Chains A and B, each alone.
Chain A
Amino acid sequence: MAKSHKPVVWFPFAAGGTVIAFFIPVIVFLTFLAALGHVPAGLSYERMHAFAGSGLGKLIIFGVVSLSLWSSAHRLRCTCFDFGLRADTLAATVLYIGAIVGSLLSAVYLLQI
């Protein structure tokens, strides 16, 4: 039976698209407030450190960051192709490796907290 690697790419892509849609706008808004100089109380070091220090917090943060990275990498690959970059294998390799490295780094950082 022919096997396809597509589900492996597609599942995190679809999950990541949903995660981005539900979580990223509000997270961007929070750091936007910080950019304006009104740092929300929840973004203080103590609160963020406590959240990222808990097991559930680590899991949530890792899930949001890694799925968003993977989904973005997959979408950027399609965007490159649509803008006329036909070196798809190169774009896919660079972007997917970037997403994997970013996910591994965030796991390492989370374990350090």
Chain B
Amino acid sequence: MSRRPLVRECPPTTWYFRQPRYLRYMSREITSIFVGAYCVLLVVALQRLAAGPAAWEAFLLGLRSADSIVFHLLALAAASYHAATWFNATQKAMPVQIGEDFVPGNLISGAHYVAWAVLSVVILYLAGVF
């Protein structure tokens, strides 16, 4: 008797159009492209900083283009979406139990949002934005 396992058809490149939740998953996946590209920009920035004042000023001036503004907007949206989904997942990834009861999930995610907001304001303050 030959073994004939059930092989479910799964189109490798279009599977995520089948379900809205798959699309949401993939929309989170593609944020990694912009975050990854931005990380490369950070390494370039370090190289420019190490190369001296003139190189650093030229780097900052080089950021001022329409392409750069569009890229920054996409990266900002991607990084924020990553952050929000990451914090939403914390309550599932690390539930906290006190005695018999679990701490409400929204409290865990909420604490992360508060910490995110405080940290961002502190960094903006240290960077002299306000």
Taking a contact as CB atoms under 8 Å apart, the answer to whether A25 and B60 are in contact is no
Known contacts A18-B86, A45-B56; decide if A109 and B47 are in contact (CB<8 Å): yes
Counting chain A residues whose Cβ lies within 8 A of the other chain, the interface size class is: 35 or more
Nearest Cβ in chain B — how far from A21, in angstroms?
4
Q: Which residues of chain B (1-50) have a CB below 8 Å from chain A? A: 12-13, 16, 26, 29-30, 32-33, 35-36, 38-43, 45-47, 49-50
Set of chain A residues within 8 Å of B119, measured between Cβ atoms: 22-23, 26
* Cα of A30 to Cα of B60 in the assembled complex, Å: 11
Q: Which chain B residue lies CB-closest to A26?
A: B120
Contact of A26 among B30, B86, B124 (CB under 8 A): B124
Q: Which residues of chain B (101-125) have a CB below 8 Å from chain A? A: 112, 115-116, 119-120, 123-124
* Cα of A6 to Cα of B40 in the assembled complex, Å: 25
Taking a contact as CB atoms under 8 Å apart, the answer to whether B83 and A22 are in contact is yes
**11 A-B residue pairings within 8 Å (CB atoms):** A17-B82, A21-B116, A26-B120, A29-B124, A36-B64, A45-B53, A49-B53, A69-B36, A79-B33, A105-B43, A112-B50
Give the interface of B toward A (CB within 8 A): 12-13, 16, 26, 29-30, 32-33, 35-36, 38-43, 45-47, 49-50, 53, 56-57, 60, 63-65, 68-69, 72-73, 75-76, 79-80, 82-83, 86-87, 112, 115-116, 119-120, 123-124, 126-129
